[in-house]
Amino acid sequence: MLKSQFASLVLAMTIVGLTLVGCGSGGAAFTAGLLQGLSQANASRGAPAAKMMIFGGPGHKTYLGCLTCSKFEADSVLNQYGQHGSRYSTESIWNRYSEFGSRYSSYGACNLYATDPPVIVGSDGKFYGRLTLNHYHPELGVGSQLQGWLTSTVCAE
């Protein structure tokens, strides 16, 4: 799927997510529906369900979890008991003190000025953008659709 098609899918799922979850719902519930909907939408169109993953650190070699997996999957960023959804894991964007959830690390998703934030990659190997609060990152891509979630949920005080 082309980047522009994926961006359109994300936007469509955002709208569908708002309708299904309802206005005023928590950010976590909305995002869970949005992220899971991405894979389901691909599958319903006859395409294989794309697993969207994030990688960070030098050379993006550290696996930070699956964005589109159910909160019950071990590697989901939405699984608070898993390695990638825990506020205590060093390989989690939820840990403010790790290099990936820090407001100060160049690898941190929560850093407004991150120069090398986590990348979003599909199971097909395609690059879709960066997971970051840095609105000006030149490779933001699909990550721009997740900045509200980062602000209100992952990076919230």
Looking from the CA of 114 toward its CB, the CA atoms found within 13 Å total: 28
Residue 113: HSE in the Cβ half-sphere, 13 Å Cα cutoff? 2
DSSP state of 87: S
The pTM assigned to this predicted structure is 0.75
Q: What does the mean pLDDT of the chain come to?
A: 80
Coil, strand or helix at 31: helix
Task: Please state, for a pLDDT cut of 90, what percent of the chain lies above it.
Answer: 68
pLDDT 10s digits, 29-77 = 555 555 555 545 444 444 556 799 999 999 999 999 999 999 999 999 9
152 secondary structure, DSSP code: I
